[in-house]
Amino acid sequence: MSDLSALQDRLGYRFENEGLLRLSLTHPSVVREQNSSVEHNQRLEFLGDAVLQLVLTSVLYSRFPRYGEGPLTKARAFLVNRKSLAEHSGKLGLGEHLILSRGEELNGGRERPSTLADAFEALLGAIFLDTGFESATQFITQRFDFVFDELEALPAMENPKGDLQEILQANLPEPPKYRLISVTGPDHEKNFECAVYHSHGELGRGTGKSKKEAESRAAMDALSKLNSSPGAESISASGETGENTASTC
């Protein structure tokens, strides 16, 4: 068994009940190989998954007040996908401390992404049982804080136009409108600029090599402004002028 004290130093968390840490690192293969009633980490994994979902949901809800259920759900899924959790596990070095069966060891279990992701969730469950929800929350937010900083353009990950429409239509049934502002450059290398409007106000602008790309970037710009400024939806002066002079994309 590897030194759990060194692992706890790396975690920045010292277990009151070190047995919980040991349990979080015990792979189910040990039980299958020994054909015994030895406990393994699957129950802790189940618990840790729930704790992780709740903490991240709470942070996303507070950090992105203008976004609806759809964008928030996508962001949470992005944060808790198995690849992401395996990477967190790898950074903590959980693989080298896993308790595996001989067969699992020989088959590369210490580097298997699914095993690492499971161990990370089990670790969260262990911390929750050891000292409570506050400790688990602090540990999780420390691990994910830099990722949250990268999600400031949250809904833009997959479908910015759809996410913008969802946010706007939560208050008014009117969908956003996209208008072509200008087309510049030679025929083989045109550059399009589009703006997005809602309720007679311009919300954002974007440029691209096609109208579709320009619209998408205009939506991203609008989403960024809506997230950073509660009054962004009320912009009207430039929007009305743009509506009168621009053509529909």
Catalytic residues, which ones? 49, 121
Q: Which of 158, 226, 151 is nearest to 196 (CA)?
A: 226
> Cβ contacts of residue 114 below 8 Å, gap of 6+?
82, 86
Q: Which of 5, 40, 15 is nearest to 115 (CA)?
A: 40
**Whether the Cβ atoms of residue 92 and residue 124 lie closer than 8 Å to each other:** no
**Whether the Cβ atoms of residue 215 and residue 194 lie closer than 8 Å to each other:** yes
Q: Which of 161, 173, 224 is nearest to 199 (CA)?
A: 173
Token reading at 200: 């007679």
Token reading at 198: 């809602």
State how far Cα 234 lies from the chain centre: 29
CA distance 27 to 100: 5
> Whose structure tokens read 């009940």?
17
CA distance 108 to 86: 14
Which amino acid, residue 24? S
